[in-house]
Structure 1
Amino acid sequence: MSNLYRTVLDSFWSEYIWLPPNTTWKDIAPDASSEIQHADYRHLLYPLPMALVMLFLRYVLEKYWFAPVGVSLGIKNTKPKKAPTNTVLEKAYTQSKKWKHKQIQGLAKQLDMSERQVERWLRLRKGQNKPSTLTKFCENSWRCLYYTLSFIYGLVVLWNKPWLWDINECWNGFPHQSVTSDIWWYYMISMSFYWSLCVSQFFDVKRKDFWQMFIHHIATIVLMCLSWVVNVFRIGSLVLVVHDCADIFLEAAKMAKYSGYQKVCDTIFGIFTVLWIASRLGFYPFWIIKNTSIDAPKIVPMFPAYYIFNSLLCLLLVLHIFWTYLILKIVANSLNAGKMEGDIRSSSDDYSEDSKSQ
């Protein structure tokens, strides 16, 4: 069994796949050169305990900072009203979250209740699982703080790096490029944050794009880990800084909405929409993906890992396009309503009386 595991592992980490021609793993080992500090794959374990620290820090900040601020802004921590105990409806509810009119009619007859009473019970039952507005405000505050600090730190770190101003510098001298301490921290903190999101996502406000976000987090982590192992951290750092900038304003817009500052929310959301399209559908595909797929092979000899990295980058682009569609829908609805309506990643647990028409 151990021999099979070793064979599979050696096949997966084949130098032919992951490294340029005439390059071996020994060539980019941490101790391969006294002049160049290559990335150490063993350091990829550090973000795991760091993610636990990140979760603890989030808990402390939400409880002792964000929640008091939210309360001072008038956000109530009211918990939704619970549905009366009813074993028949509870059993039916656990079996399905979507209801057709015929199902509601059958339950009403079985329990000698009106259809409206059954519908009201279902709304209360679904509503009791919803987090309070204060809980959502705290969640958005944490993410807004992280994205703001991460983006600022990323700019500070990359400002004096040549590859920020000339992206082709990501490949000059590759794979023999040194990892500086500031880039090391940028990578480790970013990975710890995405690892923490993979855990907290199952406890946070449930969104209708739950699985798209989960795929996004996993794809980001895989991309970062592989880029670290193969020493492609320069292009990875650019991907990180491009991704962080728009998210600041998304979370800030939600915070303003939950606080009751609708005009502020609308303004911030407008800024977010422009930044999102510019960064996620502009800089990301036409600056980063263009470079990794078209320009990089002209500088570094082609090897199979190009296809792996570009496939993951394109997967993120597909998710960006999906979210852009949701954003533009909200913009259109907001223009019609005169204000931002709903949430770009709203809860899917809302029960609608439209089931009558089904």
Structure 2
Amino acid sequence: MAYFLRKALDTFWSPTVWLPPNTTWADIAPESSTEIQHADHRHLWYPIPLAFVMLLLRYLLEKYWFAPVGLSIGIKNSRPKKAPPNPVLEKAYSQSKKWKHKQIQGLAKQLDMTERQVERWLRLRKGQNKPSTLTKFCENSWRCLYYTFSFIFGITILWSKSWLWDINECWKDFPHQSLPNDIWWYYIISMSFYWSLCVSQFFDVKRKDFWQMFIHHIATIVLMVLSWIVNVFRIGSLVLVLHDCADIFLEGAKMAKYSGYQKVCDVIFAIFTVLWIITRVGIFPFWIIYNTSIKAPQMVPMFPAYYIFNSLLCILLVLHIFWTYLILKIVYNSLNAGQMEGDIRSSSEDYSVDSNNSNSVQNHTKSE
């Protein structure tokens, strides 16, 4: 068994797949050169324990900073009203959280209740598991703080790097490029954060795009790990800083909404929308992916990993397009309503019933 596992790993990590022609793993090993400091794959274990340190830091900040600030500006920590105990309705709810009109009619007759009473029970039951506004405010505050720090840190260290101003520098002397200490820290901190998100996502506010976000986190981690091992950290650092920019304003807009500052929320959300479109569906495909798919093969001999990296980047782009559609939908609805009414990542506790009954709850989506 060990033999076959070793054989599979050797095949997967074949230098003919991951490295340019006539290059071996020994050529880019940390000890291969005294002049060039290649990335050390053994350091990829560091972000995993650091992710739990980051989760602890988040807990302390939420408890001793974000929550007190939220309470001081009037954000409530009250829990939604619970649905009255009802074994029959609870059993039906456990089987399906989305009830059709016929099912509501049947339950109403079975329990000698009106359809409106059954619908009200369903609303309360679905709402009782939702987190308080303060909990959501704290979650967004943590993310806003991290993205702000990460973006400022990334721009600061990249400002003096040649590849920020000329992306073709990402491939100069590849794969023999030294990993600067500041880029080392940028990668380690970023990977720690995304590892922490993979854990906290199962405990945070549940949203409709839960699995899209999970795929996004995994794809990001895989890209960072592979770019570290193969020494394409230069393009990786550009992808990271590009992604942090708009996220600051998304989290800030949600914080403003939960705080009751609707006009501030509208302004921040407008800035976020513009930045998102510019960075995620503008710069990312037409600067980053264009360079990695069109320009890079002209400067570096073609090798199979080229397709792997570009496929992962395209997965991120597909997710960006999906979220851009949701953002524009929010903008359209907001213009009609006169204010930003929702969030591109709405709660997964949505439900609908058949709209043929005038007494039924109309199909809708509850925002966070």
* TM-score, normalising length: structure 2: 0.96
CA distance in 2, matches of 1:97, 1:114: 19
Q: Conserved in 1, the CA contact under 8 Å of 2:100 and 2:354? A: no
CA distance in 2, matches of 1:338, 1:86: 40
Q: Conserved in 2, the CA contact under 8 Å of 1:227 and 1:236? A: yes
Q: Conserved in 1, the CA contact under 8 Å of 2:194 and 2:221? A: yes
Superposition pairs for residues 215-234 of structure 1, below 5 Å?
215-234=215-234
CA distance in 1, matches of 2:122, 2:268: 35
Q: SS of 2:30's equivalent?
A: coil
The answer on 1:17 being equivalent to 2:2 is no
CA distance in 2, matches of 1:71, 1:247: 24
CA distance in 2, matches of 1:133, 1:352: 23
CA distance in 2, matches of 1:54, 1:343: 26
The answer on 1:179 being equivalent to 2:179 is yes
CA distance in 2, matches of 1:72, 1:214: 33
Please tell me the root mean square deviation across aligned C-alpha atoms, in Å.
Answer: 1.0
The share of aligned pairs that are identical, in percent, is 82
1:196 is matched with: 196
Shift of 1:352: 4.3
Shift of 1:146: 0.2
CA distance in 1, matches of 2:87, 2:173: 68
CA distance in 1, matches of 2:135, 2:185: 30
2:105 is matched with: 105
CA distance in 2, matches of 1:343, 1:273: 12
Q: SS of 1:155's equivalent?
A: helix
Deviations 1:180-238 (A, max 9, x none): 11000000000010000011111111111111000000000001000001001000000
Amino acid paired to 1:10: D
Shift of 1:355: 5.4
Shift of 1:348: 2.2
CA distance in 2, matches of 1:283, 1:351: 37
Q: SS of 2:341's equivalent?
A: coil
Amino acid paired to 1:240: L
Q: Conserved in 1, the CA contact under 8 Å of 2:101 and 2:354? A: no
Q: Conserved in 2, the CA contact under 8 Å of 1:223 and 1:312? A: yes
Shift of 1:350: 2.9
2:163 is matched with: 163
Q: SS of 1:6's equivalent?
A: helix
Q: 1:224 to 1:78 in 2, by over 3 A?
A: same
Superposition pairs for residues 67-216 of structure 1, below 5 Å?
67-216=67-216
CA distance in 1, matches of 2:351, 2:75: 23
1:50 is matched with: 50
Q: 1:76 to 1:354 in 2, by over 3 A?
A: farther
CA distance in 1, matches of 2:54, 2:22: 40
The answer on 1:33 being equivalent to 2:7 is no
1:334 is matched with: 334
The answer on 1:245 being equivalent to 2:245 is yes
Amino acid paired to 1:102: K
1:321 is matched with: 321
Between the two proteins, the alignment pairs up a number of residues equal to: 358
CA distance in 1, matches of 2:304, 2:213: 27
Deviates more, 1:15-24 or 1:347-356: 347-356
Q: SS of 2:113's equivalent?
A: coil
CA distance in 2, matches of 1:113, 1:274: 50
CA distance in 2, matches of 1:308, 1:351: 39
Deviates more, 1:305-314 or 1:83-92: 83-92
* TM-score, normalising length: structure 1: 0.98
Shift of 1:92: 0.9
Q: SS of 1:31's equivalent?
A: helix
Shift of 1:267: 0.4
Q: SS of 2:312's equivalent?
A: helix
Unaligned runs of 5+ in 1: none
Shift of 1:88: 1.2
The answer on 1:271 being equivalent to 2:298 is no
Shift of 1:353: 5.2
Shift of 1:106: 1.1
Q: Conserved in 2, the CA contact under 8 Å of 1:79 and 1:131? A: yes
Q: Conserved in 2, the CA contact under 8 Å of 1:76 and 1:133? A: yes
Unaligned runs of 5+ in 2: 358-362, 364-368
CA distance in 2, matches of 1:55, 1:355: 43
Deviations 1:79-105 (A, max 9, x none): 011111111111111110111011111
CA distance in 2, matches of 1:352, 1:6: 52
2:235 is matched with: 235
Amino acid paired to 1:276: W
2:262 is matched with: 262
Q: SS of 1:130's equivalent?
A: coil
Runs of 4+ residues deviating >2 angstroms:
350-358
